[in-house]
Structure 1
Amino acid sequence: MRPNARFTDVQPIGLDAVAAAAGTDPDVLRLENLDTDVPPPPAAVAATTQALASGEGNSWLPLTGLPVLCEAVAGELRSRTGLDYDPSRQVVITSGGTSAVMPVLLATTEPGETVALTDPTYAGLLQRVRLSGARPHFLPLRVEGGHWRLDRDALTQVTTAAALLLMSPSMPSGVLLDRDDWAAVAETCARTGAYLIYDAAMERLVYDGHPRINPCQVEGLAERTITIGSVSKEYRMIGWRIGWIAGPVDLMDRIRMAVIYNTTVSSGFAQLGAAAALTDPSGSGVDEAAAEYQRRHDTVIDQLAGLPVVRAAGGWSCLVNATALGLTAPELSSRLLRYGRVAATPMTAWGGTIAPDYVRLVYSREPVERLSDLRYRFDTALTSG
């Protein structure tokens, strides 16, 4: 096989290997994945079923999204940002939120340019930066008072960047950027001329009454922000594979072209289901889902009291420090599965120098009852062998 420089630093995501090792044993606590057992909105299921039965949406067109969904996304963004997005010029539908990342990177960066990300960050963001030909620059997250915090001083050290690629709440840490964090991001973008690529997939999955802050609400960011969203996390519609990109008109022309040549078109049936979720007057259960994920999160934190687990402020995963337990993250992951029957992913590919110390615990698919013996499983894993 001939060498290919794009893949020199790209690392395997890890969770698929852990899932394969866990197999189908029902006793294994599945904390490695990002599936969820919280059901999708009934309105989305009904709309998708109706579209399948009638054949509506079984088309290649429009290549960048059905008007009804583009309009629904624009309405969703208006409620979050207060901004009016032109659904025909500023919104593009993609095959899931993660599939939107590469077209945005191709449209905003040149090979060799820098993209700033937090450490830890989602491997699907970091490794796409590398595949695009850009270079990651890590902004460390620090543990303060048992919570993750963005190191704002690290932002002042960013001297050149094509983009900042950020998520809040973020996978895998659950860090939530506050208004002062976003103000520091705005200053960095203004100083370097960088775009903000904002992954908003979990924006409303926030715990403990923390305010939900969209960066477009912060002075100086609206005109620089490209927002990536999806129905996968908040709306629990993972299998629909529907996401979107929204941003400045001039840049969206370039992004639209990259989307067309990357994935051609998203499922029309699924787009109609997504539109139903976004326009559902009941809210499609987003707040209820966030409350359920917090119950599970709090159970994990209570179960692991005294161990080096870091609280999340939102999302549906948290991290435990393997190094503080005297193990590498792959070693802890292996011991958890072998002795504790817990599938959990080492964060080897999820950052720079900080992430590889941690193992991720995803509680989106495991109810509180199943999580209630997590401490016993951990203790067994740590003391066996």
Structure 2
Amino acid sequence: MSRGRTARFLNIQPFGIEKAAAAAGHDPEVLRMENLDTDVAPPPSAVAVTRQAVGRRDANSWLPFTGLGQLRQVVADQLSAQTGRTYDPVTEVAITGGALAGLLSALLATVDHGDEVVVTDPTYAGFINRIRLAGATPVFVPLRVVDGRWRLDLDRLASAVTQKTRALLLMSPSMPSGHVFTDAEWDAVAEACSAADCWLLYDAAMDKILFDGLRSRHPASLEQLAERTITLGGVSKNYRMIGWRIGWAVGPAEVMRDVALAATYNTTVASGFGQLGAAAALTASRDGGDGVAAAVADWQARRDLIVRELAGLPVVKPDGGWSLLVNAGALGLKAPELSQRLLQHGRIAATPMTEWGQHVAPEYVRLVYSAEPLERLKGIGERFGAALR
């Protein structure tokens, strides 16, 4: 018996990734650039510790619900080093089943039905739909292309915050664009949060994946944002540990109690052996043993090759992350049409950004370069040429 969909799901849309993946099938000649995976291996120490932990009693318990003390301490130490603010691992850190599980818990703890959450356009479709699942409404602030790079529209940001704004949800580097916030943009975010007296939900899942010598600036290092920021982090992207499904939410104790409750009543506890592997990765990062620097150099080389081979096409160069965007509209095509052409004539699987924003994102197609090595990416310009003929 069907009673129809609940109202909660009426505006929830699929990523579009699964459709692009299904169309590509299992053809080995297709460049798999539709999904945010990577072929770069996780830290060896994390793999070894995880294997050793499987089946051990200390890695096979419901307790503690908010995460193993060892991992909470390492996370607190890392965030304190990045921000200059001391975090209490007991009251201000919750370990979650991935950063995005932490995000949904943070949204449930900070927004109510009818509230508004400001995001960029484009942004991660998972942000948009989690906001809706929490009962709030996403408000989009466009990213603009300036001198070939993404920049936040500061005037639109200032006008986007209202009495209904309860949070800004931002990521740097951002998915899917690779936009990295400048100091001026973070200052504008601080002003907007102060004006609205709202939270900043900051997804730091890619904060180490920066190109061209750019340095990360954590927003909680700003005095205005130190007590407004909830950081969502994890090991999936920086440390290439997608399958571990370990993340964290970190913020002021006044809100973290509710974040932790939401996480507990959703998944109860994150994987014990996964947590120990994550702790090993973060510990290794203290002396560079996490492989992040080498991975970032590899991903930057892939980005540079693609940008070089697609010279003359409307490609926006990312400053970090795992993907870049191509403007289908500037080529006289709809994004789904360009995606279809790329697969049929260029043997490239790429996802149209139809559901990843409001007005800007639907013009673009995403190319994920983190899962295809340089040797396979060579010749991507010829593939594009075949698709556009």
Given the alignment, which residue of 70, 73, 80 partners 1:71?
73
CA distance in 2, matches of 1:64, 1:288: 32
Query: How does 1:190-209 map onto structure 2 within 5 Å?
Result: 190-209=194-213
CA distance in 1, matches of 2:103, 2:17: 20
- Correspondence for 2:255: 251
For 2:162, give the aligned amino acid.
Answer: T
Answer yes or no: is 1:298 the counterpart of 2:316: no
CA distance in 1, matches of 2:102, 2:336: 30
Q: How many residues align?
A: 383
CA distance in 1, matches of 2:290, 2:36: 20
CA distance in 1, matches of 2:356, 2:42: 28
Given the alignment, which residue of 306, 326, 341 partners 1:320?
326
Any idea what the Cα deviations from partners look like across 1:294-314, whole Å, max 9, x if unmatched?
Answer: 111111101110000100000
CA distance in 1, matches of 2:101, 2:376: 32
**Deviates further, 206-215 or 220-229:** 206-215
CA distance in 2, matches of 1:360, 1:174: 11
SS in 2 for 1:223: coil
For 2:125, give the aligned amino acid.
Answer: A
CA offset at residue 52 of structure 1?
A: 1.3
CA distance in 1, matches of 2:257, 2:137: 24
CA distance in 2, matches of 1:34, 1:193: 34
- Correspondence for 1:50: 52
Gaps of 5+ in 1: none
Given the alignment, which residue of 184, 187, 199 partners 2:188?
184
- Correspondence for 1:19: 21
- Correspondence for 1:97: 99
For 2:105, give the aligned amino acid.
Answer: P
Q: TM-score, with normalisation over the residues of structure 2?
A: 0.97
Q: Is the 8 A contact 1:107 1:255 kept in 2?
A: yes
CA distance in 2, matches of 1:244, 1:35: 20
Q: Percent identity?
A: 57
Answer yes or no: is 1:83 the counterpart of 2:89: no
Any idea what the Cα deviations from partners look like across 1:153-176, whole Å, max 9, x if unmatched?
Answer: 111102231000000000000000
SS in 1 for 2:51: helix
CA distance in 1, matches of 2:34, 2:247: 23
CA offset at residue 55 of structure 1?
A: 4.8
Any idea what the Cα deviations from partners look like across 1:43-89, whole Å, max 9, x if unmatched?
Answer: 10010011015454011111110111101111111221122111111
SS in 2 for 1:39: coil
Query: How does 1:194-273 map onto structure 2 within 5 Å?
Result: 194-273=198-277
- Correspondence for 1:172: 176
Q: TM-score, with normalisation over the residues of structure 1?
A: 0.98
Answer yes or no: is 1:344 the counterpart of 2:350: yes
Q: Is the 8 A contact 1:59 1:268 kept in 2?
A: yes
CA distance in 2, matches of 1:366, 1:169: 20
SS in 2 for 1:186: helix
Any idea what the Cα deviations from partners look like across 1:115-166, whole Å, max 9, x if unmatched?
Answer: 0000000011111111111001101000010000000111110223100000
Query: How does 1:106-145 map onto structure 2 within 5 Å?
Result: 106-145=108-147
- Correspondence for 1:8: 10
SS in 1 for 2:59: coil
CA distance in 2, matches of 1:379, 1:223: 50
Query: How does 1:327-366 map onto structure 2 within 5 Å?
Result: 327-366=333-372
CA distance in 2, matches of 1:37, 1:55: 32
- Correspondence for 1:159: 162
CA distance in 2, matches of 1:377, 1:61: 52
CA distance in 1, matches of 2:61, 2:155: 50
CA distance in 2, matches of 1:237, 1:76: 18
SS in 1 for 2:269: coil
Q: Is the 8 A contact 1:179 1:218 kept in 2?
A: no
- Correspondence for 1:286: 292
Q: Is the 8 A contact 1:293 1:316 kept in 2?
A: yes
SS in 1 for 2:339: helix
CA distance in 2, matches of 1:332, 1:318: 15
SS in 1 for 2:340: helix
CA distance in 1, matches of 2:372, 2:186: 33
CA distance in 1, matches of 2:226, 2:27: 48
- Correspondence for 2:32: 30
SS in 1 for 2:106: helix
CA distance in 1, matches of 2:213, 2:69: 35
CA distance in 2, matches of 1:261, 1:106: 11
SS in 2 for 1:319: strand
Answer yes or no: is 1:380 the counterpart of 2:386: yes
SS in 2 for 1:201: coil
CA offset at residue 340 of structure 1?
A: 0.9
Answer yes or no: is 1:39 the counterpart of 2:41: yes
CA distance in 1, matches of 2:108, 2:293: 34
For 2:296, give the aligned amino acid.
Answer: A
Gaps of 5+ in 2: none
